[in-house]
């Protein structure tokens, strides 16, 4: 077998010297190198920001979405949305393991795994798109993918349905990061609290803040607000327009004794929500952007423009033990498991 780089740079076609994620084009030749794993792919979970953009561009036309995904993979060798720059993750079965890895990893041929690295760096070849479920950002395919030596993955657990595990692991970095940054007594605002990552973050945040803290969840309308209240994952639920930062600020302080919050967590899938995340946070607080639609420029210059001295964290999709932390939440909470089962087991 050919020898490869740990970080997959041997796959980069353009530009020379780049890593696979920022590269414009990588090789999706499915003949593996000695430090790669070949995966027979069942599902792609396109990240929420990317799928929202694809859906809007196609005006909801499923065939146009299919054609766009195929075109992106043909042009780039990977599923990286050229507008959002983001990807997603996949689920499949191990088909081949490179010689160098056979004694180093806990996988064998036939194991079912979910990759925990972005599709925006994963060599992918799609033979056929079998189905698209736009309401849950899932694409069923016939195809193959490559996992690099540095790529992280999770074996699919036997006590959780595969598609349920896939849905949870897709946003595993979010609740694990919340566990790290939220302290007892904190007041937390979660934007997009009714979505997949938002629900996970709300549940984790409520665990972490204890009796002295507060979790405020944002919903876009009364229907979603009622759903969120019924989960009991948040102490307060506000209805607000995330494209109107003043509205979000006013709604937030109205349920927090006129005070700003300690931490805001952005779990949204649309752009231009940076200031709605920053404005309600007190000086010295934290703004955590899990949304892949976040603009660093808008966040940095926006905070400067309103004189906010806040720590801003980019949502790293990887946190130590994030897969186990997230799967444990699904096992622990009957409500979370019920919601995820209803939405994601198809």
- Residue 85 forms part of a structural domain: yes
**19-35 pLDDT, tens per residue?**
999 999 999 999 999 99
Mean pLDDT over 96-121 rounds to 94
Is the confidence at residue 345, as pLDDT, over 80?
Answer: no
Residue by residue, DSSP assigns 274-313 as HHHHHTTEEEEEEEEE--TT--HHHHHHHHHHTT---EEE
pLDDT above 90 (res 299):
yes
Specify if 152 maps to a domain.
Answer: yes
Provide the token pair at 109: 């041929």
- Residue 19 and residue 150 in one domain: yes
Q: Is 67 a domain residue?
A: yes
Of 297, 298, 307, the closest CA to residue 273 belongs to 298
Q: Which pair of tokens denotes residue 281?
A: 């946070």
Residue 139: inside a domain, yes or no? Answer: yes
Q: What is the mean pLDDT of residues 67-81?
A: 97
Name which of 133, 159, 164 is nearest 345 in CA terms. Answer: 164
Residue 4 lies in a domain: no
Residues 20 and 152 reside in one and the same domain? yes
Final residue of a domain: which of 123, 156, 189?
156
Task: Look at residue 269 in the predicted model and tell me its pLDDT.
Answer: 87
Answer yes or no: do 136 and 219 share one domain.
no
CA 141: distance to chain centroid? Answer: 20
Q: What is the pLDDT of residues 158-185, one digit of tens each?
A: 888 888 888 888 888 999 999 999 999 9
Q: Is the pLDDT of residue 327 over 80?
A: yes
The pLDDT value recorded for residue 346 is 66
Residue 168 is assigned to a structural domain of this protein: no
User: Which phi and psi (to 5°) does residue 240 adopt?
Assistant: -155, 160
Same structural domain, 216 and 96: no
Q: Give the residue from 35, 328, 66, 9 showing the smallest Cα distance to 172.
A: 328
Domain end point (choices 105, 128, 156): 156
Clarify whether residues 123 and 226 are in a common domain.
Answer: no
In a domain, 346, yes or no: no
Determine contact, residues 73/146, Cβ cutoff 8 Å: no
The model carries a pTM of 0.84
Helix (H, G, I), strand (E, B) or coil at 213: coil
- Cβ(59)–Cβ(29) below 8 Å: no
User: Same domain for 78 and 212?
Assistant: no
Residues 151 and 265 in one domain: no
Rounded Cα gap, residues 331 and 346, in angstroms: 19
Distance in angstroms (rounded) separating the CA atoms of residues 100 and 37: 10
**Number of structural domains the chain divides into:** 2
Residues 335 and 209 in one domain: yes
**Are 215 and 327 found together in one domain?**
yes
Q: Quick one: 319 and 178 in the same domain?
A: yes
pLDDT value of position 57? 96
pLDDT at 290: 92
User: Pick from 156, 187, 215: which residue ends a domain?
Assistant: 156
Q: Which residues pair with 17 in a beta bridge?
A: none
For the segment 269-294, the average pLDDT, to the nearest whole number, is 95
Q: Taking the alpha carbons of 156, 162, 165, 166 in that order, is the dihedral positive or negative?
A: positive
CA distances from 25 to 14, 79, 90, 117, 139 (A): 5, 10, 19, 17, 22
Looking up residue 264, the CATH number of its domain turns out to be 3.40.50.720
Within-domain flag for 180: yes
Q: Say whether pLDDT at 86 is over 70.
A: yes
Average pLDDT, the chain: 95
Do residue 187 and residue 128 come from a single domain? no
Least confident of 44-48, 293-297, 313-317: 313-317
Same domain, 271 and 188: yes
Sheet containing strand 281-289, strands side by side: 236-239, 214-219, 187-191, 261-266, 281-289, 311-314
Q: What is the mean pLDDT of residues 242-254?
A: 98
At 233 the pLDDT is: 98
pLDDT, tens digit, 9 for 90 and up, residues 180-220: 999 999 999 999 999 999 999 999 999 999 999 999 999 99
User: Would you place residue 145 in the very low, low, confident or very high pLDDT band (cuts 50, 70, 90)?
Assistant: very high
3-state secondary structure of 142: strand
Burial of 212: CB neighbours in 10 Å, binned 0-12, 13-18, 19+: exposed
- Domain assignment of residue 255, given as a range: 173-339
Closest CA to 312 of 323, 304, 320: 304
């Amino acid at each position: 077998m050919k020898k490869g780089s740990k970080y997959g740079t041997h796959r980069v076609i353009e530009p020379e010297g780049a890593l696979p994620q920022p590269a414009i084009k990588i090789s999706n030749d499915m003949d593996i190198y000695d430090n790669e794993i070949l995966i027979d792919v069942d599902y792609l979970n396109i990240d929420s920001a990317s799928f929202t953009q694809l859906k809007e561009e196609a005006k909801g036309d499923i065939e146009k979405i299919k054609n766009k995904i195929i075109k992106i993979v043909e042009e780039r060798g990977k599923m990286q949305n050229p507008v959002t720059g983001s990807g997603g993750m996949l689920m499949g079965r191990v088909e081949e393991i490179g010689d160098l890895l056979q004694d180093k990893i806990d996988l064998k041929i036939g194991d079912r795994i979910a990759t925990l690295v972005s599709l925006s760096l994963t060599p992918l070849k799609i033979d056929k798109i079998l189905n698209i479920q736009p309401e849950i950002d899932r694409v069923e395919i016939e195809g193959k993918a490559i996992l690099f030596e540095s790529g992280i993955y999770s074996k699919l657990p036997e006590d959780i349905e595969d598609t349920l595990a896939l849905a949870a692991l897709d946003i595993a970095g979010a609740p694990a990061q919340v566990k790290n940054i939220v302290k007892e007594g904190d007041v937390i605002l979660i934007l997009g609290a009714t979505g997949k990552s938002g629900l996970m973050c709300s549940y984790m945040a409520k665990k972490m803040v204890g009796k002295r803290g507060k979790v405020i969840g944002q919903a876009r309308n009364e229907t979603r607000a009622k759903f969120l209240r019924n989960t009991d994952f948040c102490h307060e639920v506000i209805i607000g327009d995330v494209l109107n930062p003043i509205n979000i600020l006013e709604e937030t302080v109205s349920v927090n004794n006129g005070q700003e919050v300690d931490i805001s967590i952005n779990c949204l899938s649309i752009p231009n929500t940076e200031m709605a995340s920053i404005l309600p946070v007190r000086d010295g607080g934290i703004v955590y952007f899990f949304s892949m639609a976040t603009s660093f420029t808008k966040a940095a210059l926006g905070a400067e423009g309103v004189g906010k001295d806040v720590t801003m964290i980019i949502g790293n999709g990887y946190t130590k033990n994030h897969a186990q932390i997230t799967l444990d939440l699904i096992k622990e909470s009957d409500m979370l498991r019920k919601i995820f089962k209803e939405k994601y087991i198809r």
